[in-house]
Structure 1
Amino acid sequence: MTGTDNGREAYAAERAELARLLPPAPGTDLPPGRHEHHRERLMNLIDDDTARARGRTGADAQDRARERAGRPDRSRLLRPSFLAPATALAVAGALVLGYAAQNGGGPADTGDTRSVSQVLLRMSDAAGRSDALPIRDDQFLYTRGTGRDVDLTSGKAVIGPLEESESWYSQKPGPQKKLGLIRQGGHTVPINAELGDSEGTRPGLNRPTYRWLATLPTDPRQLLDYFDEITPKFEGEDRDQALFESIGGLVGHALLPPDTAAGLFEAVALIPGVTRTPDAVDALGRKGVGIARDDERSGVRTEWVFDPEDLSYLGWSSHLTRDTEYGKKGDFMGDSAVIETAVVDKAGVKPQS
């Protein structure tokens, strides 16, 4: 369901009412601007055949490359042979760090909910007015990005080097066994279908093509309810955090239709515990406004970083909000940054300048 005229009128009325209840924006608040389209975050696993062909070390290298492309993989957390980099912790931190959390101070204050509602409404308005980057079913979404992993195999968080990568994601409809390519460190490897998808991975949360995204509800409440239906459930998780991360995978890493992007930002405003952080920083050191949420079970805060001028997505960062087995409160737990996003006709080909 993409929303009827009545649904759109109700949606607009809700937004107007929320805006009326909020205090006037101070002059130093962020101006509305164009919401840039973002790289796609797919949660696909390099299949076992590739892992066996390249050996465990090679598979781990592929996994790190895919993480640097901004696609943390929830399914990898269920496989103990893999590392648990910070991007994956941000997606399902309760499963990885929950048991290790120590008693101690609670999450730091990150701002009031009225402030974050203002920012998200402005992001929604900017997104709804943006021009959609055209992309056909036979094209690929190209992303160049960088970031750092955290290695937890020693029992402590060890920060990895900043690594740049490029990715190409197919927009083909229907189930696909080959989803694109990823390149890092001079090596290019295929992105295969989700583990278990023997007939190929269909468009959806794990493969958010532009065509699929355009079918999503645009009403924020309906959108949040739909994400609650399609986001995998894990015992003991913070469900609100799971929804925050699920939507974040699209807000930060997918090519979004304007109406879908607008609805997603307002859906995030409905999630309890979401706050604004004024001094967020991405992997390139670019400062911006942050939209954040603390996973109190795991002790991990995830921040999405947006440009303070035009509200475009810059990247994400993560750190501990309390002492855990892996580190102390405030310790860095991974980050990323988007450098370039474009549409290309062929996988492996860089966009023209």
Structure 2
Amino acid sequence: MNHRDTPSTGARRSDADIEAIARLLPPPAHRGLPHEQHLHHKERLMRTIDRDKADRTDRTDHTGRSDRTDQAAPGSRPARRLLRPALLVPVTALALGGILVTGVALTTGDDAPAGAATGRHDARNMQPAAALLDRISDAAGRGDALHVEDDQFVYTRSKVREADLTSGKAVVGPVRDTESWVSQEPGPLRKLGLTRSEGETLPINAQLGDTHGTPEGLGRPTYHWLSTLPTDPEKLLDHLYAKVPKSDEAERDQAVFDSIGSLLGGATPPDTAAALYRAAARIPGVTKVPSAKDLTGRTGVAIARDDKTFGARTEWVFDPQDLTFLGSRSYLFRDTTYGKAGTLMSAEAVIDVAVVDKAGQAPATSQES
């Protein structure tokens, strides 16, 4: 039997210790990061904890003794739509069991925009964005509905790029291929699926503090949960403003825009996808970008929004012909302590999405997205 299937006493003790620490964490401190990047930080923490727990389990012998280590390599990041529910902690509280989460940002001349955005919005530049989102919504609504059973997994293959901020400045890393398999079971789960990057496979565990498992929702958007969302754009937007976790630091409109972005590009019912785009058109500050590129260099049109609090612009890139979602990126539109205008904060390109029967299983056919 695989040791990961039967946790040792040491592993269970580790889980209990982590949950106890989570309950004792102090209130949120000033983040100093855009909302999207703060979510990225949280996911990096969870990936690192998952890696540490997997390493400890693998080092446990049949007598129950555990060769514990206090050092873990940086964790991999699954697709953005797999981000866990909010876990607001100050940076000083991220050193759990000797693990310190590093920052994520990115800078590269090739991926950066030709010119920095101004960050100014008015009623005139909302009209092109609304018209484009209306077309994208129509295209999404005409898509074929997937047949997804509760015991299946949604497979996503993507390319991502990220860097550390440990030096106080962005240190760019290479483009990485990532794969993820996310369980579609509606009930609370302790094991949400698998993620694979650079040949290493790790479990996607429940949200820190979810003793009885993580339920489906914004942090675990199953196909079933997505199908229950309102399909009237106004009602859907009201629902998201009510459900997206609030923060004193984050711009509220940006937080909802980012939450909608985290639901794009995966397995989504056509009616829900259409409603999400029309809901996004109602968020103040949304603009159209006539030409943009995703991480792989595919050129398309984009929908963007500037987070004026943190000086970061987020773009959703779409194929110019069929308006399918290609990926997203976030970069600074003005100089900040993290880098100069044009510094890429994150980037992801969705390559393939499919439905499979088992975690770790390759899809039978490739569906370019």
CA distance 1:121–1:46, change in 2 (3 Å): same
Question: Which deviates further from its counterpart, 129-138 or 166-175?
Answer: 129-138
**TM-score normalized by the length of structure 2:** 0.73
**TM-score normalized by the length of structure 1:** 0.77
Corresponding residue of 2:344: 332
Q: Which has the higher helix share?
A: 1
Percent pairwise identity? 51
- In the alignment, structure 1 residue 230 sits paired with structure 2 residue 231: no
Distance 2:291 2:84 in 1: 27
CA distance 1:323–1:49, change in 2 (3 Å): closer
Corresponding residue of 2:77: 66
Distance 2:297 2:85 in 1: 27
Deviation at 1:86, TM superposition (A): 3.8
Corresponding residue of 2:331: 319
Number of aligned residue pairs: 292
Superposed CA RMSD in Å reads 2.5
- In the alignment, structure 1 residue 259 sits paired with structure 2 residue 260: no
CA distance 1:132–1:56, change in 2 (3 Å): farther
Pick from 156, 181, 198 the counterpart of residue 185 of structure 1: 198
Amino acid in the other structure paired with 1:273: G
1:1-353 equivalences under 5 Å are: 45-46=46-47, 48=49, 50-51=51-52, 54=55, 58=72, 60=74, 62=75, 65-67=76-78, 71-72=82-83, 75=86, 78=89, 80=91, 81-86=100-105, 106-107=118-119, 112-252=125-265, 254-353=266-365
The secondary structure found in structure 2 opposite 1:66 is coil
Q: Deviations over 1:319-349 (max 9, x none)?
A: 1111111111122222110111111011001
Distance 2:309 2:80 in 1: 27
* Contact 1:69 1:165 survives alignment (8 Å): no
Deviation at 1:203, TM superposition (A): 0.7
Deviation at 1:278, TM superposition (A): 1.4
* Contact 2:162 2:174 survives alignment (8 Å): yes
- Unaligned runs of 5+ residues in structure 1 are 1-40, 88-103
In our comparison, the structure showing a higher alpha carbon Rg is: 2
Distance 1:283 1:170 in 2: 27
Runs of 4+ residues deviating >3 angstroms: 46-50, 52-59, 67-77, 108-111
The secondary structure found in structure 1 opposite 2:136 is helix
CA distance 1:157–1:329, change in 2 (3 Å): same
Q: Deviations over 1:141-192 (max 9, x none)?
A: 0011111102111111111100001100000121010000011111111000
Question: Which deviates further from its counterpart, 51-60 or 128-137?
Answer: 51-60
Amino acid in the other structure paired with 1:143: T
Q: Deviations over 1:303-332 (max 9, x none)?
A: 011100101011111111111111111222
Amino acid in the other structure paired with 1:78: V
RCO greater where, 1 or 2, for CA within 8 Å and sep 6 or more? 1
Amino acid in the other structure paired with 1:285: G
